[in-house]
């Protein structure tokens, strides 16, 4: 049976529609692109986003402008981008809370898995497990043994309840079976200050401030929370190698776009971001920000990875009694 031929007018219209999407992707961007950062200016993720935005603008010929939208544990910024037009002109520099908030919040104004498409994972922020020098432990196994012998006596600081630093401590507790008291602060610097002062025994600290305190002997490092060593302090071993196999708790910087953004634009941004991060300047700058550059996979692989992150952190949040706490 012979297939019907489309009328000439319909055939022309079909060709126009089919060709339109690739043409738009090829021309993208034709105007300014906004990169939303869910924290105030000045932190590692903000600096990383600004670097990537500058380079994207240089490569693609239109300005990529960073807009800081802090609030509600990154929910404000994430909600804004989730509801933006899926045209590639509003992007989000997402962090680990994109995965952890799924379980922490009773109800979010967006779905982390459904409402975003990952573009590239630019880099990770490993944390340093530090203790006050008065604590008689010098290794991770010694800390575990000391804490087990004194259940509930040790305290650990964090940058706030539900923060990635807090959840790193909770993951450590769940993997070792130790009992420690959580002391939340409004930010990482005041938390580290109290560890330095000896008011709190230990914490998972932001490397941007911890490395200086380590080198001055004010805190003692036991390990880093990533699977690889930090370029800024390669002498500190990963906790996974230093006595707690499989331990990993990092903050990651993942650029995402609203779901339904055309695949051609998604792939274009993925290729550009991977190229920027892999360049000598990209490697140098990201390390300078206290991060570890990441060789990002395809958007499809990133989407699967993000789903595993949601599941992995969900267990930690539930064990910490934080599920639905916000």
pLDDT at 324: 86
Distance CA(138)–CA(20), nearest Å, equals 62
pLDDT at 180: 97
Distance CA(294)–CA(182), nearest Å, equals 31
pLDDT at 176: 97
Query: pTM of this prediction?
Result: 0.86
Distance CA(90)–CA(152), nearest Å, equals 46
Q: If the chain, 326 residues long, is cut into consecutive pieces of 10 residues, what is the mean pLDDT of each piece? A: 50 47 73 95 92 98 97 94 98 96 94 95 95 97 97 96 95 96 93 97 92 95 94 93 94 96 98 97 94 93 95 93 87
- What is the DSSP secondary-structure string of 247-294? ----EEEEEEEETT--HHHHHHHHHHHHHHHHSHHHHHHHHHTT-EE-
Distance CA(97)–CA(211), nearest Å, equals 24
| CB-based burial label for 283 (10 Å; 0-12, 13-18, 19+) | middle
**Contact of 37 with 69, CB cutoff 8 Å:** yes
pLDDT at 24: 62
Query: For residue 273, what are the CA distances in angstroms to 28, 33, 266?
Result: 15, 14, 11
Distance CA(245)–CA(138), nearest Å, equals 18
pLDDT at 42: 85
SS3 assignment, position 94: strand
Closest CA to 313 of 305, 156, 107: 305
Which domains are assigned to the chain?
32-124+251-319 (3.40.190.150), 128-224 (3.40.190.10)
Closest CA to 178 of 162, 205, 155, 195: 155
pLDDT at 193: 96
Tokens 């989000």 sit on residue: 92
pLDDT at 8: 56
SS3 assignment, position 207: helix
Torsion angles phi and psi, residue 112, rounded to 5: -60, -35
Distance CA(62)–CA(162), nearest Å, equals 37
Beta strands in the chain (DSSP E): 33-37, 64-68, 90-94, 116-125, 128-131, 155-158, 181-184, 202-205, 220-224, 251-258, 292-293
């Amino acid at each position: 049976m012979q297939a019907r031929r489309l009328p000439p007018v319909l055939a022309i219209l079909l060709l126009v529609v089919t060709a339109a999407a690739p043409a738009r992707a090829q021309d993208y961007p034709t105007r300014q692109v906004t990169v939303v950062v869910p924290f105030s200016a000045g932190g590692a993720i903000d600096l990383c986003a600004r670097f990537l935005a500058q380079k994207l603008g240089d490569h693609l010929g239109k300005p990529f402008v960073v807009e800081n939208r802090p609030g509600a544990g990154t929910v404000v910024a994430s909600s804004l981008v989730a509801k933006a037009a899926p045209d590639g002109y509003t992007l989000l520099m997402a962090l680990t809370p994109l995965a952890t908030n799924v379980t922490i919040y009773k109800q979010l104004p967006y779905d982390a898995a459904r409402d975003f498409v990952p573009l590239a994972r630019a880099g990770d922020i490993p944390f340093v497990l530090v203790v006050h020098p008065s604590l008689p432990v010098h290794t991770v196994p010694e800390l575990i043994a000391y804490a087990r012998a004194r259940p509930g006596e040790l305290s650990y600081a964090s940058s706030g309840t539900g923060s990635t630093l807090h959840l790193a401590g909770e993951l450590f507790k769940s993997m070792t079976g130790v009992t420690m008291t959580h002391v939340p602060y409004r930010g990482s610097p005041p938390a580290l200050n109290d560890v330095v002062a000896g008011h709190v025994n230990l914490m998972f600290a932001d490397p941007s401030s911890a490395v200086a305190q380590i080198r001055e002997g004010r805190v003692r490092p036991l390990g880093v929370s990533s699977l690889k060593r930090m370029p800024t302090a390669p002498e500190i071993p990963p906790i996974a190698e230093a006595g707690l196999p499989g331990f990993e708790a990092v903050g990651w910087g993942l650029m995402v776009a609203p779901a339904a953004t055309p695949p051609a634009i998604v792939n274009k941004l993925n290729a550009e971001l991977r190229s920027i991060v892999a360049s000598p300047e990209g490697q140098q700058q990201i390390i300078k920000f206290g991060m570890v550059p990441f060789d990002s996979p395809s958007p499809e692989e990133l989407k699967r990875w993000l789903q595993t992150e949601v599941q992995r952190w969900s267990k930690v949040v539930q064990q910490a009694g934080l599920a639905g706490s916000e």
